[in-house]
């Protein structure tokens, strides 16, 4: 019943936004759109680089987003590498040092080693993207090819997914991974991650996910796992099993081996905020934990009866709690 209400609420809220989408009703509308797409391509061809692992020869793509040579790419492109060979569309070759990566979001950073200034693209958050928004994908499919510029693909946001992933119908293939998805203003809004069986399913790590892990990646930290986070036995946890209720997240059980128990949390407490962010749902919880790694200290605010309390807990690997439990 509640679900229906929420759906209805979002539907009515969504209506004015739907009206706001640019409507294509004539060839003239298409011509305006074409001009915007070509502008994006003209400005961003030179910032779309091919990244090659000097160890394996494996090839992906990346995009330069600052004058001092910061490159955004996919975590699975740089995995296992300290340095990457960077090839510009004109064939110029440089080197980049791998910084950090959030594997859960398939997000990573590297920095060009040579002297700048480098050409770069602006970035923008991806949460404001709407289903139906037009986007442009570039990259170096099947690796760097000196006979062509990075091929242009045009499409729309088909749906938005958990952890800021975006699905578009801009067709991608191997080698595109790590390449940029642009909005019509030429700002990077996503990084190519993976594809589905259907041509309409091309998944990109949204820039909002990069932004929430930005400082940690820049500082050289790597964490998380590719694919389903819940299948990682060593994922960072605080040791609380939650249940979603209309009032918020209810603590259902607290294993005695975990840090949350030691900090005083007990079943029946109602958690309202984690790591400084208000939290009402399990989806929101997954979003917060995607940016956290083992050893991070976070605050947890909860209510017990009329009393509010805030505690600090350090994240531990899930496997540690399970091991202690078996003993």
Partner 1 sequence: MKRFLFFTILSLVSLGAQERGNGIPLEDRARTRAQALDVFNAIRAAEFQAQDLVFSVFSGQTHLVYGISMGEERLLTKASEVLHLKDLYVLNQESRALPARVVGLYADADLAILEVSGLAAAPAQWANAASLDDGAFLMAIRPDGDAQAIGVLSVKERSLKEGDQGFLGIEIDPSELGMGVKVARVQPRSAAAEVGIRAGDIITMVDGEEVKGFYELSTRLRRMREGERPKISLQRANQNFQVTPTLKGRIIEKRDIERSNRIQRMERMSGSQSRVRGEFDGVIQSDMELESFDAGLPVVDLEGRMVGMVIARAGRISTLILPGEDISQLIKTEASPYDPAFRRIGPGRGLRQREAQREVQEIQQAQREQELIRRLIEGFRFHFGR
Residue 278 touching partner 1 (CB under 8 A): no
- Dig out the tokens for 168 from the structure: 């578009």
Query: Considering the complex, what minimum distance in angstroms separates the CB of residue 144 from partner 1?
Result: 6
Query: Considering the complex, what minimum distance in angstroms separates the CB of residue 45 from partner 1?
Result: 7
Among 16, 36, 22, 28, smallest CA distance to 183 is for: 36
Residue 97 touching partner 1 (CB under 8 A): no
- Dig out the tokens for 50 from the structure: 């091919």
Beta strands in 177-306 (DSSP E): 180-182, 188-195, 202-206, 222-223, 236-237, 241-245, 248-253, 270-274, 277-278, 297-304
- Dig out the tokens for 91 from the structure: 């064939």
- Residue 166: partners with Cβ closer than 8 Å, 6 or more residues away: 126, 129, 157, 159, 160, 181, 189, 190, 203, 204, 206
Q: Which is nearer to partner 1, 58 or 100 (CB)?
A: 58
Q: Which one of the spans 119-127, 165-173, 275-283, 303-311 is the region binding partner 1 (CB under 8 A)? A: 165-173
In contact, 62 and 178? CB cutoff 8 Å = yes
In the block, residue with structure tokens 């994908």: 137
Residue 306 touching partner 1 (CB under 8 A): no
Is 184 exposed, middle or buried, given 0-12, 13-18 or 19+ CB atoms closer than 10 A? middle
Q: Which of 73, 81, 124, 167 binds partner 1 (CB under 8 A)?
A: 167
Query: Considering the complex, what minimum distance in angstroms separates the CB of residue 103 from partner 1?
Result: 20
Please name every residue paired with 71 in a beta bridge, in sequence order, or none if there are none: 64, 110
117-146 residues near partner 1, rule: CB under 8 A? 131-132, 136, 141-142, 144, 146
Q: Which of 6, 15, 38, 68 binds partner 1 (CB under 8 A)?
A: 38
Residue 41 touching partner 1 (CB under 8 A): yes
In contact, 191 and 73? CB cutoff 8 Å = yes
Q: Which one of the spans 25-33, 205-213, 236-244, 315-323 is the region binding partner 1 (CB under 8 A)? A: 25-33
Among 206, 55, 62, 60, smallest CA distance to 128 is for: 206
User: Per-residue contact track with partner 1, 177 to 216, x per CB under 8 A?
Assistant: ------------------xxxxxxx---------------
Query: Considering the complex, what minimum distance in angstroms separates the CB of residue 130 from partner 1?
Result: 9
Binding site for partner 1 (CB under 8 A): 11, 18, 21, 23-27, 29-31, 33-34, 37-38, 40-42, 45, 50, 52, 54, 57, 85, 87, 91-95, 131-132, 136, 141-142, 144, 146-149, 151-156, 158-159, 167, 169-174, 176, 195-201
């Amino acid at each position: 019943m509640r679900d229906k209400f929420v759906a209805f609420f979002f539907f009515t809220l969504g209506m004015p936004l739907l009206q706001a989408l640019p409507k294509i009703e004539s060839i003239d509308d298409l011509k305006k759109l074409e001009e915007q797409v070509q502008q994006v391509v003209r400005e961003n061809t030179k910032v779309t680089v091919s990244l090659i692992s000097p160890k394996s020869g494996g090839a992906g793509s990346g995009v330069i987003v600052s004058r001092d040579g910061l490159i955004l790419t996919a975590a699975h492109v740089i995995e296992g590498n300290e340095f990457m060979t960077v090839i510009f569309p004109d064939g110029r070759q440089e080197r980049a040092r791998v910084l950090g990566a959030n594997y859960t979001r398939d997000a990573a950073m590297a920095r060009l080693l040579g002297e700048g200034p480098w050409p770069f693209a602006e970035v923008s958050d991806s949460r404001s993207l709407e289903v139906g928004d037009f986007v442009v994908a570039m990259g170096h499919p099947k690796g760097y090819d000196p006979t062509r510029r990075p091929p242009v693909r045009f499409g729309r946001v088909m749906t938005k997914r958990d952890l800021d992933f975006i699905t578009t119908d801009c067709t991608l293939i191997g080698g595109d991974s790590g390449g940029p998805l642009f909005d019509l203003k030429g700002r990077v809004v996503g990084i190519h991650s993976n594809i589905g069986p259907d041509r309409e399913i091309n998944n990109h790590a949204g820039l909002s996910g990069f932004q929430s892990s930005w400082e940690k990646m820049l500082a050289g930290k790597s964490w998380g796992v590719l694919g389903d986070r819940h299948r990682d036995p060593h994922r960072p946890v605080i040791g609380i099993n939650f249940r979603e209720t209309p009032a918020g997240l209810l603590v259902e059980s607290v294993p005695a081996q975990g840090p949350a128990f030691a900090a005083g949390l007990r079943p029946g407490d109602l958690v309202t905020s984690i790591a400084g962010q208000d939290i009402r749902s399990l989806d929101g919880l997954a979003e917060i934990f995607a940016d956290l790694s083992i050893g991070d200290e976070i605050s947890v605010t909860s209510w017990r009866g009329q009393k509010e309390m805030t505690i600090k807990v350090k994240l531990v690997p899930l496997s540690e709690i399970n091991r202690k439990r078996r003993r």
